[in-house]
Chains A and B, each alone.
Chain A
Amino acid sequence: MEDTPALLPSLLIAVAAGAGAWLLRRSWQGKTQQTGLVAAGWLLIAAATILPAWLLGPARGPFIALAIVSTAALAIVAANYSVRQAKARAARESLAPEPSDRATTKWRETLRWLLAGPIGMIAAMGVGIAYAALVPGEQQTRLVVGGMIVPVIWGGCMAWTLADNRILRATAVLTGVAIVSFTAAIVKGFA
């Protein structure tokens, strides 16, 4: 038996999600935010994401919906683009936030990238492996969830260490996390 065809449900999802995004746009573009429109918009988007679980499969449906919801919202954005006239302007007029211009040294930058790379990876692996060892549940579930934690924590470490000016604090935290988590996991063992 084949999977339930997704074409027709996809169209329904796109219509519901598009309507939800349109309501959000109406609210956020106005001078005063209309709570009712925002709630209705999010409700439509949530329904378009969750309800396909019954039609297309419990995991398959929502994941199909997530991809379509994004596309429908982007279609609403694209349909309402505006074209502006090129205008010479000094850079200082820009109101967008600029990246900070911190003073740094070669060793600080090297340490920063070591923290974002290998040290962050080791700390993230420690947390993932500690999760697999310490949290109750099925062995396979602990291992896979622990494995999925690794890229999330590592990505978070990268974002943090590359942004934080207090680099020694980041060094201490990541080293500490790595030592504590690996020690806890090895002491407890995997059962």
Chain B
Amino acid sequence: MTTATKPPKPAKKKDLMSRIPAGFVRAVLRGHSSLGLAFAALIYLICLSGSIAVFAHEFQRWESAAGPHITEASPDAVQTAFAGAIAAGGAGVEHVYITLPSADFPRLLLHVDADTDREFLADAAGKIAPGQDFAWTEFITRLHINLHLPVTWGIFLVGLIGVALLSSLISGILAHPRIFRDAFHLRLGGSKRLQEADLHNRLGVWALPFHIFISLTGAFLGLTTIIVGVLGMAMFNGDANKVYALFFPPPPVDDPRPAPVLDLRPMYAKLPQDGGRITYIFTEHPTERGGAALFNVKQPDRMAGTDSYAFRRDASIYNAQKAADNNLGEDLLGGMGQLHFGWFGGGIVKIIYFALGLALTYLAASGVNIWLARRRDKGRPAPRWERAWAATVWGQPAGMAAAAVAGLAAISTPVAIGAWLVVSLLFLLAAIRLSTESLSRIGRLATGALTLLAVAVHLGLRDGLAAADPMAWIVNLVLVAGGVLLLIPRLGAQKRPVEPAAATA
């Protein structure tokens, strides 16, 4: 006998994230909020400078627009340039770093590490010209790498910020139970908090793989020194060099007796012809008997595809490492820098890295905006913090644009740093009196005007009009477009028909 009972209606299946308990979400959100607020300004600064630093090679080409533009350098030309740079480099030459021309960076660049460091560019015949022209690029890359602080501390601090960012990504995902349901919601207009939250969440979720590998590689690169130091202390009797020795060729045997300039040509002749491209030559003690040279040869389509060949003065090879024989650890380490900076897929990847880097920058900015809007919604506005945050958000791009103007005009990185500091401080001081709206408007206008001024300085003082390198023209055009866009108010205002606001925020 059976009773005809109606089977219970199955409960609607919730997705995994929706099953996270509300109390847990609120606790994680608290941690996410605390961490974001504590580090927001530094995350913002590092992400913004990193997004721009993706184009470091393009900016170097822009800054050296009048310099020799070459696509190939023969061994004879490299040798001539090498000898010329050592002769012009002054006393106490310890190392010379030679960057060979590539599609990405069509310059022959020599950095001489002597009593005073100097850089030179050379033409296709190897004739050198002073090349200390990269003040702005140096400014923006060092700002990203060590915040212009003493290198060890600066790099560690940037590594710490990478960890904080990674932590924010973890807590951000855990605090987002509607991750799938809202995956495609982007509601603009209406409440400021809802709009900011939608942008924050969509950019955070869909670009998550990018955010993770950027923060992880950044944290790893920043923390390497301290990790290796602790590792050396714990397991190598305090000798961190034993850790590095597992990855890098041994240094040459020291012999400080004077000798003629190292001859690189017979070394060139001994390199295997296997389709690789020589990208970099690192020479050590080039005017001593113990001189040596390390050639980096890049193999195509590999992230960590650099073979290295270390030569003694007599052109005998004392260490050879082929990328094809790398183990996983060597591959990971070799690809880390390229992956972090986006220098592995040509212009298209750089543009995408720039856009996603700005998205990450926006995450930092919008996180604070959401917190400020929440306080305002709850009747506890924080006007001082609102002004200070607006001054930070707009003071930084304005400061960087000012650094470009100063760096181009004075050809000096310290001057560029000074200009950035002055503008940043002016914005923070202005926050004492000016409203958030005024700070934002002034910041936007100042960034636009200073960007256009940088182009004018480039054209007027840095031979931009006579540039042989098309990249100089492209950079100027992009900067003009960017500057003009910033000067036009309310560009791209509402286009879509308005729909009523839903009751979720």
Chain A interface residue count, CB cutoff 8 Å, equals 86
- Whether B303 pairs with A59 at a CB distance below 8 angstroms is yes
16 CB-based A-B contacts, threshold 8 Å: A1-B275, A10-B345, A56-B301, A59-B302, A63-B303, A70-B210, A77-B183, A84-B191, A86-B189, A132-B235, A140-B333, A147-B224, A150-B223, A151-B223, A154-B163, A155-B163
CB of A105 within 8 A of chain B?
Answer: no
Report the minimal beta-carbon distance from B157 to chain A, rounded to whole angstroms: 12
| Proximity string of chain B (111-136) to chain A, C-beta cutoff 8 Å, 1 when within and 0 when not | 00000000000000000000000000
CB of A111 within 8 A of chain B?
Answer: no
- Whether A128 pairs with B227 at a CB distance below 8 angstroms is yes
- Whether B188 pairs with A84 at a CB distance below 8 angstroms is yes
- Whether A163 pairs with B166 at a CB distance below 8 angstroms is no
Please list the 6 inter-chain residue pairs (A to B) with the smallest Cβ-Cβ separation, ordered nearest first. A162-B31, A84-B190, A57-B301, A140-B329, A141-B329, A163-B31
- Whether A71 pairs with B302 at a CB distance below 8 angstroms is no
Q: How far is the CA of A161 from the CA of B345 in the complex (A)?
A: 39
- A60-B345, A150-B219 known; 8 new pairs, CB 8 Å cut-off, are A63-B339, A64-B345, A67-B342, A67-B345, A84-B501, A143-B243, A148-B332, A158-B167
Report the minimal beta-carbon distance from A188 to chain B, rounded to whole angstroms: 9
Chain A residues with Cβ below 8 Å from B331 are 59
- Whether B235 pairs with A129 at a CB distance below 8 angstroms is yes
- Whether A97 pairs with B505 at a CB distance below 8 angstroms is no
Question: Chain B at the A interface: mostly helix, strand, loop or mixed?
Answer: helix
Report the minimal beta-carbon distance from A98 to chain B, rounded to whole angstroms: 6
- Whether A91 pairs with B378 at a CB distance below 8 angstroms is yes
Chain A residues with Cβ below 8 Å from B210 are 66-67, 70
Stretch at the interface among B263-271, B350-358, B390-398, B443-451: B350-358
CB of B231 within 8 A of chain A?
Answer: yes
- Whether A159 pairs with B31 at a CB distance below 8 angstroms is yes
- Whether B301 pairs with A4 at a CB distance below 8 angstroms is yes
- Whether A140 pairs with B180 at a CB distance below 8 angstroms is no
CB of A174 within 8 A of chain B?
Answer: no
Chain B residues with Cβ below 8 Å from A156 are 167, 170
Across the interface, name the chain B residue whose C-beta is closest to A71: B352
Report the minimal beta-carbon distance from B189 to chain A, rounded to whole angstroms: 4
CB of B230 within 8 A of chain A?
Answer: yes
CB of A186 within 8 A of chain B?
Answer: yes
CB of A89 within 8 A of chain B?
Answer: yes
Q: How far is the CA of A70 from the CA of B502 in the complex (A)?
A: 27
CB of B203 within 8 A of chain A?
Answer: yes
- Whether B379 pairs with A91 at a CB distance below 8 angstroms is yes
- Whether A129 pairs with B234 at a CB distance below 8 angstroms is yes
Once A70-B209, A95-B504, A158-B167 are accepted as A-B contacts, the answer to whether A84 and B348 lie under 8 Å apart by CB is no
Once A150-B227, A158-B164 are accepted as A-B contacts, the answer to whether A74 and B207 lie under 8 Å apart by CB is yes
Q: List residues 30-48 of chain A with CB under 8 A from any CB of chain B.
A: none
Candidates B234, B329, B504; contact of A144 at CB < 8 Å = B329
Q: How far is the CA of A101 from the CA of B230 in the complex (A)?
A: 38
CB of B23 within 8 A of chain A?
Answer: yes
Q: List residues 336-367 of chain B with CB under 8 A from any CB of chain A.
A: 339, 342, 344-349, 352-353, 355-356, 359
Chain A residues with Cβ below 8 Å from B329 are 138-145
- Whether B504 pairs with A96 at a CB distance below 8 angstroms is yes
Q: How far is the CA of A59 from the CA of B209 in the complex (A)?
A: 15
Report the minimal beta-carbon distance from B344 to chain A, rounded to whole angstroms: 6
CB of A50 within 8 A of chain B?
Answer: no
Report the minimal beta-carbon distance from B11 to chain A, rounded to whole angstroms: 15
- Whether A145 pairs with B346 at a CB distance below 8 angstroms is no
- Whether B183 pairs with A28 at a CB distance below 8 angstroms is yes
Q: How far is the CA of A99 from the CA of B299 in the complex (A)?
A: 50
CB of A68 within 8 A of chain B?
Answer: yes
Across the interface, name the chain A residue whose C-beta is closest to B23: A100
Q: How far is the CA of A180 from the CA of B337 in the complex (A)?
A: 33
Q: List residues 114-164 of chain A with CB under 8 A from any CB of chain B.
A: 116, 125, 128-129, 132-133, 138-145, 147-148, 150-152, 154-164
Across the interface, name the chain B residue whose C-beta is closest to A95: B504
Q: How far is the CA of A53 from the CA of B176 in the complex (A)?
A: 32
- Whether A83 pairs with B494 at a CB distance below 8 angstroms is yes
- Whether A94 pairs with B302 at a CB distance below 8 angstroms is no
Q: List residues 62-89 of chain A with CB under 8 A from any CB of chain B.
A: 63-64, 66-71, 73-74, 76-78, 80-87, 89
Q: List residues 187-244 of chain B with CB under 8 A from any CB of chain A.
A: 187-191, 194, 197, 202-203, 206-210, 213, 215-216, 219-220, 223-224, 227, 230-231, 234-236, 243
- Whether A143 pairs with B206 at a CB distance below 8 angstroms is no
Most buried by B among A70, A77, A128, A159: A159
Report the minimal beta-carbon distance from B203 to chain A, rounded to whole angstroms: 7
CB of B254 within 8 A of chain A?
Answer: no
- Whether A82 pairs with B186 at a CB distance below 8 angstroms is yes
CB of A102 within 8 A of chain B?
Answer: yes
- Whether B27 pairs with A186 at a CB distance below 8 angstroms is no
Once A81-B496, A155-B166 are accepted as A-B contacts, the answer to whether A99 and B183 lie under 8 Å apart by CB is no
Once A60-B301, A74-B202, A190-B235 are accepted as A-B contacts, the answer to whether A6 and B349 lie under 8 Å apart by CB is yes
Candidates A6, A64, A83, A99; contact of B26 at CB < 8 Å = A99
Candidates A57, A78, A81, A162; contact of B34 at CB < 8 Å = A162
Q: How far is the CA of A96 from the CA of B200 in the complex (A)?
A: 14
Chain A residues with Cβ below 8 Å from B355 are 71
CB of B109 within 8 A of chain A?
Answer: no
- Whether B234 pairs with A182 at a CB distance below 8 angstroms is yes
CB of B453 within 8 A of chain A?
Answer: no
Candidates A73, A83, A86, A128; contact of B497 at CB < 8 Å = A83
- Whether A67 pairs with B356 at a CB distance below 8 angstroms is yes
Once A6-B349, A147-B224 are accepted as A-B contacts, the answer to whether A95 and B503 lie under 8 Å apart by CB is yes
Candidates A63, A71, A157; contact of B356 at CB < 8 Å = A71
Across the interface, name the chain A residue whose C-beta is closest to B277: A1
Across the interface, name the chain A residue whose C-beta is closest to B227: A147
Chain A residues with Cβ below 8 Å from B459 are none
Q: How far is the CA of A66 from the CA of B208 in the complex (A)?
A: 10
Report the minimal beta-carbon distance from A39 to chain B, rounded to whole angstroms: 14
- Whether A141 pairs with B378 at a CB distance below 8 angstroms is no
| Proximity string of chain B (151-165) to chain A, C-beta cutoff 8 Å, 1 when within and 0 when not | 000000001001110
Across the interface, name the chain A residue whose C-beta is closest to B169: A155
- Whether B346 pairs with A81 at a CB distance below 8 angstroms is no
